[in-house]
Amino acid sequence: MRATDFEFRYRFWVIGFVYFLGFGSYNLDRVNAAAGVAHWIFGARDRHLDSLAAHHLLQALFALSAVLITFAAWIRTRGGAYLRAEVVHDPNVRTERLVADGPYRYLRNPLYLGNMFLATGMALLASRLGAVILIVGNLIVILRLIGREEVGLAEAQGEAYRAYRNAVPRLWPLLTPRVPAGDKRPEWPQAFLGEAWMWCFATDGFIFAWLMDLRIYFPILWGSGLAYFCVMMTMKWRRRRISNIPNADSPSAKPS
């Protein structure tokens, strides 16, 4: 199972389409996933979830959503700190160097693991059907993208990558590292810049869990999308600038 070159190059739009389908499923199933959990817990005792206990449960579930998104932001930021942000968002598969420092000592794809935590967190904001679409759809897309990367890395890095692949799991992190640390040092400012939109998502989630007011939630959500667009334009400009530098060194192996 591996993505085509087209899927990988336009992976942002492919993943975005999964989210479009997930949240668009409110047209077929109008019950929010978190509300569905609350209905299952309270049953006939509080069919309309009007009680204070039901309100607090919904707040807790939406806070859990924000926690998952925060965890996703942290995982992606930590993984991105060992790559350049413009490499993380590069439309091409980067295979010129194998990164096995930081979180890459515990699992091969921390950025994609972050994507799955994001999908799980966002699933609580979708409908019941949408939650299934978001989690399953993202998992399928991510496994296909990983398959595409693994083929390229195996071809470019040969035995070094095969040994790394056999020692470190794909998506389930180890408790202890299986490969020795290298000399790569994290670059935190560019990593936080590259994932700023996800931190905005997480902050928005906590605000919504506290106030339960969609009139505040959606402006911040759209602002986060605008922040992501600005980051993408910045990364594109930086890629063009670096490509114009003779013998520019690229420190990466894996995009997201």
Residue 253 lies inside a defined structural domain of this protein:
no
Quote the pLDDT of residue 113: 96
Domains held by the chain: number: 1
Residue 256 lies inside a defined structural domain of this protein:
no
84, 190 contact by CB (below 8 A): yes
Query: What is the separation of C-alpha 105 from the centre of its chain, rounded to a whole number of angstroms?
Result: 19
Residue 252 lies inside a defined structural domain of this protein:
no
Q: What range does the domain containing 195 cover?
A: 5-243
Residue 217 lies inside a defined structural domain of this protein:
yes
Quote the pLDDT of residue 235: 65
Distance from C-alpha of 66 to C-alpha of 70, rounded to nearest angstrom: 6
Quote the pLDDT of residue 256: 46
pLDDT at 99 over 90: no
Query: In whole numbers, what is the pLDDT of the chain averaged over residues?
Result: 85
Tokens representing 74 are 């942290």
Q: What's phi and psi for 109, nearest 5 deg?
A: -130, 65
pTM above threshold 0.75: yes
Distance from C-alpha of 1 to C-alpha of 146, rounded to nearest angstrom: 9
Residue 102 lies inside a defined structural domain of this protein:
yes
Distance from C-alpha of 56 to C-alpha of 137, rounded to nearest angstrom: 30
- Counting Cα atoms < 13 Å in the Cβ hemisphere of 175 gives 0
Averaged pLDDT for residues 150-161? 87
Q: How many CB atoms lie within 10 A of CB 222?
A: 11
Distance from C-alpha of 40 to C-alpha of 47, rounded to nearest angstrom: 10
DSSP track, 80-124 = HTTS-HHHHT-SS---SS---SGGGGT-S-HHHHHHHHHHHHHHT
Residue 25 lies inside a defined structural domain of this protein:
yes
Quote the pLDDT of residue 64: 97
Residue 235 lies inside a defined structural domain of this protein:
yes
pLDDT at 176 over 60: yes
Output DSSP code: residue 179.
Answer: S
Residue 249 lies inside a defined structural domain of this protein:
no
